[in-house]
A and B are shown apart, each in its own frame.
Chain A
Amino acid sequence: MVQLSYSQINRDLLKTMSPPGRVYYTILVLDLLVLAWGIFAWGYQIRTGMGVTGLNNPVGWGVYIATFVFWIGIAHSGTLISAILFLFRVKWRNAVYRTAEAMTVFALVVAGLFPLIHIGRAWLFYWLLPYPQRGYLWINFRSPLVWDVFAVGTYLIVSSTFFFTGLVPDLAVVRDQATGWRRRIYGFLAQGWMGTDHQWRHYSRAYLFLAALATPLVISVHSIVSWDFAVSIVPGWHSTLFAPYFVAGAIHSGLAMVLTMLIPLRRIFQLETYITRDHLESIAKLLILTTLIMVYSYLTEFFIAWYGGNRFEQATFLYRAVGDYALAFWFMLVFNAIVPLLFAVREIRRSIFSLFTISILINIGMWCERFVIIVASLAHDYVPFAWRTYKPSWIEVSILAGDAALFFLMFLVFAKLLPVVSIVEVKELVPPPVKEEALQ
């Protein structure tokens, strides 16, 4: 990294929080419109019934759950980058982890909405929570959906705490630059951070512990989400491979999403000095690893279906490959397991264009993976008489769009209210400033 002074870093990174221009507001308004449309669609769905979706009798879960799993997957790379790479003292994470962590929190929020959107009586969602009431009605701890509630809830609490903790020293920097009521708010959020040695000692200890706490969640949350499927008896779902397969997939999609978000961000905010090509290349290298895990998982799935000799499993996997959802299946296979292998070529993983394109393809592929696993398995399960296909309706598309709009809304707000790159940690990468006299 080029030699930068602390004050230069402060200036550069706080520039992202300068008052937004017309473009920003235009995007914000468009985003709000999409969100409003999505909220309207949801309202219509609650009022009329789940029949406004394309869901039907064999296919009880569709794009809502696919997107839920997708967002949860996205949420994983944030913690991976911020916590796991922190524990491993990987230097390149410092510039990108803030964005990745924000993505985690936001993705969890939008993912968490889907179970509510998807249930038939959304107004009774709180029945899924264990709370004391007169009727002594309790939840069923054997149901993976209840595990989900806990897994996702825990993850949301831990990751947002982690996110906030990492923010504290930066908030102090923002506070110091701010005036008026903003100063008061940031002052409150900065929790009286003065940058004393004492504070630093506690801070780094706390951050380390939180990182250690968040790390197992990366594994556990998506394992539990995968058990929604693995615990059932639906052919194509009932597989012991699912937990590692889903975790790898989550990291795979999460890393891709980090790329998708970072590349425009560094361009827009002119952060090329901080988020360099090397950073992006490191992510791409990590993607090669996850891609290989995906390849292995896909092969294992098909091998076991064939080798297991279970007629129903075999039919399900054949149906995935050549049936009504074959297109999504081949997208999944090509985009997730073949295209990212191109990163093995140095030029490709250092080209911003190909990084961006491939990251988007992986996002598409990973969404398709969830769609194929959920829909193609349900559409053709045990009893052939009950087979039926599913196609999402415009209501579902609207709600998905609204949900994505919510994600981007949070990101837009985040970009203007909080430093998108960790000021403190970037400073760690440059040599500490030394007084001129001391040098002499």
Chain B
Amino acid sequence: MGIDRRAFLKVIGVGGATTALVGCGAEPPEKLIPYLIPPEELIPGMASWYATVCRECPAGCGMLVKTLEGRAIKGEGNLAHPVNQGRLCARGQASLQGLYNPDRIREPLSRDQNGHLHSISWDEAEGRVASRLADLRRKGKADRVAFLTPLLSGGLDRLIDTWLSALGSRRRLRYEPFAYEPLRTANRITFGRDAIPAYDLEGAKFLLSFGADFLETWISPVAYARGFAAMRAYQDGRIGTFFYVGPRLSLTAANADRWIPIKPGTEGFLALGMIHVILGEGLEVPLPQEERERLKSLVKPYPPERVAIRTELPEGTIFRLARAFAREKPSLALGGGVAMTGSNATSTCVAINLLNYVVGNVGKTVRFGPNVTLANLATYRDMLSLIDAMNGDKVEVLLLYSTNPLFTLPQAAGFREALRKVPLVVSFSSFLDETTAEAHLILPDHTFLESWGDYSPREGIYGLMQPVMRPLFQTKAVGDTLLSLARQSDPKIAQRFPWPSFYEYLLEQWKELQKRLEPGTPFDTFWEQALQQGGVWKEVRAEPVRLSPQVFELALKEAAFEAKAEQALYLHCYPSLIHFDGRMANRPWLQELPDPMTQIVWDNWVEIHPEAAGRLGIVEGDVVTVASPYGEVELPAHLSGGVRPDVVAIPVGQGHTAFGRYAEKRGANPMALLPSKPEPLAGSVMVLSIKVTLTRTGKRHQLVSPAGSDRQQGREIAQAMPLSQLGEHTEEDHAPKQIYPPHDHPEHRWGMAIDLNACIGCEACIVACYAENNVPVVGKERVQEGRWMAWIRIERYVEGELERPETRFLPMLCQHCDHAPCEPVCPVYATYHTPEGLNAQVYNRCVGVRYCSNNCPYKVRRFNWFEYSDPKSKQYAFPEPLNWQLNPDVTVRGKGVMEKCTFCVQRIQAAKDRGKDEGRPVRDGEIIPACAQTCPTQAIVFGDLKDPNSRVSKLARDPRRYRVLEHLNTQPAITYLKKIKQDTEQV
């Protein structure tokens, strides 16, 4: 008897189903994709894209996630989303490594008497919380439940509020470490609005930032980067001017025409001094007579000569700044970053508001509406009262969702001690961060990529989040947990929460939204549209504002600085572009991303001016004790001209004591140094309010960076040109001379143009490239050895004097030379020129002689020094489940072969296939490599150089064009456009 094919399939089918049923117990059933009757929307090998919202910071950028066979493999910006318009920052790109983080909490955990965590079932975990809550309600102590969340809006926010109030508590705090309290308070004082307005960078001709690092972390960096690039674009013979006032040369400051290193805490005086000049010289917009007089008397105590002394700036600078600010209308002054968090933070922000007001920016570049949701945040003072309540035994159950106050609050605030007094701390966190590590019960939430939800970063934007894949682990959405807890509570509460799941709850919320926004549209259509485009957006009109009388009571005081010793240095702690407040320190991509300014990876440091370091006898890599009146930390010193000589700077976000293998034990957390006392008016953390002493410990610590030299040594790798020369005649390209016949490119010649005037050095491209091309993370030691694997890097060069540094950023990747030096030297043809002009690398053929790399003048080739792709190898770069993220369209390279940028050849191929299927040639702009796709300023343009009308061809003819190391006649496919230098001497 033979088994025919049909019978065999039957047996297999039944057997498979039985196995699946049996497996339904503890393990989630593992489903194969039933290819026999394929689901319509799923074609193996074809990506599905899901729109969601990036929840890695409060900016709330729209995101599209590419999934293949049910696995998310790449996140990209959602082109339809008004905030980021298709772009993502480095952190957004790294969100996938949150989803696939090997240190995620995989199931509910409970702490036993000995303090050890062990796993329990969801029923048991929820049962314990429910019984505790019921117990409290019985005793009439329901108000002793506190709920701490990050900034939320929409469904989950409302659910938490209603759930908590149904229980009978109002202790709900939306906590973010950077909550912009002074800015909000200042807006209330100045305009009567407790809000953060919309800033129109694109519309400004003159931008003045008072320590607001809007290209890195301030409010909505991706959106601002886009606006900034538009403002700086060359148009009608001019580019926008940007001055940065602040104690440290941040990435934002490095993009300014001039960095003005002002004395910390005196920005407000500068603003008032400028108003003094503007009103004195009659440069202001027409103001009501009475208002003008009152303003005049307000700024009377701040004449430029006195402001000059306070701010330690030349008097002329104040005059010139004020005149330029008033002349170049509309201008825009930004304030309220961490550089402005001293004891006079609110008054400083008021002064900046007034500066915007007198030249008529309010209503033009500063618009109240659509306001930013950040205004809903709890202040630091609210957190302090929670700590008080915890200390006073008024909190018996503390629920923590996705927030890590133990790490992000000043340690002097005493959260740790207060936390120990709470009998039951429940965390919904996905990671074992510092606070969660102290919790009694952990009910892990899905990551946002596995969750339903919505988020509104500002008025009029309702971003919708949907799960892009099935939950990886035994986690449960926090909304579902709350609903389940409500069901387990007494019937009175239970009936208020009839929804079987959070999804149903969200649907109902969105039904209400639909009634409000689009009453005419059927809900199904509305919902589907929202799912497809990642949310709904509505225009919000700006509301006019008037000066509130309160503003005239402004009395700007000198900022107070606490110090242990006379000779202390100002301490400037700032959220870094890469780590923000530290919530993403467990992402290996981000740890290995060089800090845009110091270029250091995998570490934390204290930045100190060489002059101060010389005085203290500190050299690079010395471990120093940084001591404030509130505590001390040990950190390695990094010498740099990027801080004032009387300032030391420490990035926030590193120094984790928990939070997984990638985050732990990297430097120290500067929050240990900060005071507990809040700023008097706004109640914010006073970050820039202390002075610290530095003493050598005698220990040394190697700070590692992939950068060789800071200076280009006159080699003109990253070029710039003055604005005034832009209109002048540019020389023609010479016809290249060579012995070999030129390459024949019958159809396409792929090329790229990179506008150095647009590149801000944010490094989002690097992470995007890692994600797209399976680039391995190698670790600090390997980077030190020179084995960094990044295919694209941002070369940061410093020009000019230490006092007035000019920073240039240059994205460097394989130039895909037409006359590539790497090609002829390869003995086995592993690298060769494709008919489309790509410099291809055949991994299979490579034997690893490394001659190509030696002969590459751009040094963009990367050798696999170790086995990064084999799970059995000690150097395996993708520990489970990080390997789930690997792009199946790109080979994971084995040891001993050379690799490099491919211009995302897999995307080129996909676009060509698409064109072929549709019977048309590839369209210009259809192929977008990962780096170009994510670039917030759209500095990178890719296309076909054979097509004279393609964007890249046009840019390759731009008068600013040049090629790196052109004299070598490598004929790169990448054309760079020189950075434009604003003529700042006129200002």
A residues at B contact (CB < 8 Å): 48-51, 54-61, 115, 118-121, 124-125, 127-128, 137-140, 142-146, 149, 228, 231-234, 311-312, 315, 378, 380-388, 390
Contacts and interface: CB of A to CB of B under 8 A. Distances in A.
Given A142-B824, A144-B825, A57 B862 contact: yes
Nearest to A382: B857
B716 to A, nearest CB: 9
B788 A57 contact: yes
17 contacts: A49-B866, A49-B875, A50-B865, A51-B865, A58-B853, A61-B851, A120-B847, A121-B895, A137-B845, A143-B826, A143-B827, A144-B851, A232-B825, A383-B795, A383-B812, A386-B708, A390-B786
B529 interface: no
B715 interface: yes
B785 A232 contact: no
B896 A58 contact: no
A142 B864 CA distance: 25
A20 to B, nearest CB: 41
Contacts of A231: 825
Contact of B896 (A50, A60, A145): A50
B412 to A, nearest CB: 41
Given A120-B847, A380-B708, A388-B708, 9 more contacts: A50-B848, A51-B787, A59-B786, A61-B850, A137-B845, A382-B859, A382-B968, A383-B858, A385-B708
Contact of A51 (B785, B796, B897, B968): B785
A416 B782 CA distance: 48
Q: Specify the main secondary structure of chain A where it touches its partner.
A: loop
Nearest to A124: B847
Q: How large is the interface on B (under 10, 10 to 19, 20 to 34, 35 or more residues)?
A: 35 or more
Contact of A121 (B786, B847, B854, B859): B847
Contacts of A137: 828-829, 845
B855 interface: yes
A381 B782 CA distance: 21
Given A121-B897, A137-B829, A382 B855 contact: no
Contact of B829 (A54, A140, A382, A384): A140
B709 interface: yes
Interface string B866-880: 110000001100000
A233 B822 CA distance: 10
A58 B707 CA distance: 12
A382 to B, nearest CB: 4
B854 A378 contact: yes
Nearest to A232: B855
Contacts of A388: 708, 786
Contacts of A390: 786
Interface of B: 707-709, 711-715, 717, 782, 785-788, 793, 795-797, 812, 821, 824-829, 845-851, 853-855, 857-859, 861-867, 874-875, 895-898, 964-965, 968
Contact of A57 (B825, B849, B853, B964): B853
Q: Is the interface of B mostly helix, strand, loop or mixed?
A: loop
Given A60-B854, A120-B846, A387-B708, A140 B786 contact: no
Task: Kindly list the 7 A-B residue pairs having the minimum CB-CB distance in the complex, ordered from nearest.
Answer: A120-B848, A56-B786, A387-B708, A120-B896, A51-B865, A60-B850, A386-B859
Contact of A127 (B707, B828, B850, B964): B828
A384 B865 contact: no
B865 A49 contact: yes
Contacts of B848: 50, 119-121
Contact of B847 (A125, A142, A378): A125
Given A51-B865, A60-B853, A119 B847 contact: yes
B786 A60 contact: no
A381 B859 contact: yes
Contacts of A145: 825, 827, 849, 851
Contact of A384 (B712, B782, B862, B896): B712
Contacts of B786: 56-59, 388, 390
Contacts of A54: 785
A50 B848 CA distance: 9
A207 to B, nearest CB: 35
A382 B896 contact: no
A55 B865 contact: yes
A128 B828 contact: yes
A149 B828 CA distance: 12
A285 B895 CA distance: 50
Nearest to A386: B859
Contacts of B711: 384
Given A49-B867, A119-B849, A382 B895 contact: no
Nearest to B796: A385
Contacts of B866: 48-49, 51
